[in-house]
Amino acid sequence: MSDDLQKNTTQGKIEDFKKRSKSLKLMGGEKQIKKQHDSKKLTARERLDLFFDKGTFQEVQLFVEHRSTLFGLDKKEIPADGVITGFGNVNGRVVFVAAQDFTSSGGSLGEMHAKKIWKVMDMAITAQKPFIALNDSGGARIQEGVPSLEGYGGIFYRNTIGSGYIPQITAIMGPTAGGAVYSPALADWVFMVKGSSFMYITGPDVIKVVIGEEVTHDELGGAIAHATKSGVCHFVTESDADCLEKIKQLLSYLPDSCHSPLPLSDCTDSTERICKELDSIIPDKGNRAYDMKKIIKSIADNSGMFELSELWAQNIIIAFIRIMGKPVGVIANNPRFAAGVLDVNASDKASRFIRFCDAFNIPLLTIMDVPGYMPGTNQEWAGIIRHGAKLLHAYSEATVPKITVITRKAYGGAYIGMCSKQLGADYVMAWPTAEIAVMGAEGACNIIYRGDISSAKNPAAKRDELAAAYEEKFNNPYFAASLGIIEEIISPHDTRKKVIALLEALKDKKEIILSKKHNNIPL
């Protein structure tokens, strides 16, 4: 029987289908796959094999082809049009994905490539399941012209419509440049791989021509640059495999959607565990630092802590922990960096995390040790007023359970900004070491007792005397507790027990929200 006749039989059609599928799944072919591996990168299909539970991935629109005839594209086949889309199980939970394949025409985004991504994003939103983008692309397919730009616009629109509705995570696993960078920026969390992933609006060559500045790809838009300088990257990973594993860890803390229950893990820790180590963690001298992460881990189940944006705005910590198996979002000042002050970047970092947790019904635990806002012209001109207001807005609009623990300093406007009672905290607790005041004792005395100090025979001694008296009266939690400004003073070792009890008591919390279209956060 001839090949043509064979194809017309039922079995022949099935064999033809298998042959076509196999050919498309090879993507760019062995030569391009080798180049990908030589760059220490996995192919898109290899990444998906690692990411999804074995045998669960279901591909969507494998046979889609580009339809452009310009600049020789009519003679060029681009398998799967350079992107693999579909869904499958990750640790038993359904997740949707779009994975660009650099071996297929550099993973360039054209009209049909984009429409494949639109389709799977629409499916994720409709199904109320997380969406993951694995980016590895040379950018817009220039030969196709404006339709490629329209493609990006449709992706950005869906990122925005799905925001706060389903979790969206982007992994930069190769180049991502120009307009392509805005989809990651619109996602909730961005992962990058050290040494092989880059993000920038304009690349080094254009920068050199336009403004004469010389910079490498890595310096301009590598993982470390975006994790330490811009804050665009939330997780730096060592390899493709490490990146995919960390995405799985993050997903374990997140619900499928804003309407889904939080994922519950088995808990082997005790509700009655005493944290004795916390009784001695605060230094005797107020200007000495200590490890805030030890406090967070002590409160968490089995000392587990999943930190986000670890390398950016290190004066504040944001992290997920579990308490009795349930996810909790933690925001904590970090005395080891700039004494834990609030500045522009710390305010942005915390505000975005608070809004994410609130969108997905994850309770908030704030651990406060804040001496104030960072002073100076750099901060003022960078907009600390506007950026600091974001934090006030984020805490105030959050309706999830909000618990605050004051470990040491709680001064001035920064005290208000770190989820004080008047920003809607459901319960504020303080350790006996807490200092709740408008400002530090010396600064306060310089204002209140300016005349007494300047007229004294020994101004320095007089200042010390008055500062000691001020500290005794105000730099402790008792004055605030007497006015009901804080609910309770607790022993540090009881912190975990108290937090557990409060989360249980507040688990069914409901707030009536004013009817309106949306808030206008000071962006």
Tell me which residues are annotated as active site.
178-179, 413-414
Q: Which residues contact 105 (CB under 8 A, 6 or more apart)?
A: 28, 76, 78, 82, 141
Number of H helices, E strands in the chain: 21, 17
Which among 342, 360, 480, 361 has a CA at the least distance from the CA of 420?
Answer: 480
Q: Exposure of 38 by Cβ count < 10 A (0-12 exposed, 13-18 middle, 19+ buried)?
A: exposed
Helix (H, G, I), strand (E, B) or coil at 487: coil
Query: Residue 154 in contact with residue 21, Cβ under 8 Å?
Result: no
- The sign of the dihedral angle between the CA atoms of 295, 298, 300, 303 is positive
Q: CA 354, 316, 474, 492: dihedral to nearest 10 degrees?
A: 90
Q: Which residues contact 128 (CB under 8 A, 6 or more apart)?
A: 165, 166, 256, 257, 259, 260
Q: Which residues contact 483 (CB under 8 A, 6 or more apart)?
A: none
The tokens for 486 are: 């804080």
**Residue 407 CB coordination number (10 Å):** 25
Q: Exposure of 428 by Cβ count < 10 A (0-12 exposed, 13-18 middle, 19+ buried)?
A: buried
Cα 406 off chain centre by: 24
Cα 423 off chain centre by: 23
Report the C-alpha gap between 312 and 315 in whole angstroms.
Answer: 9
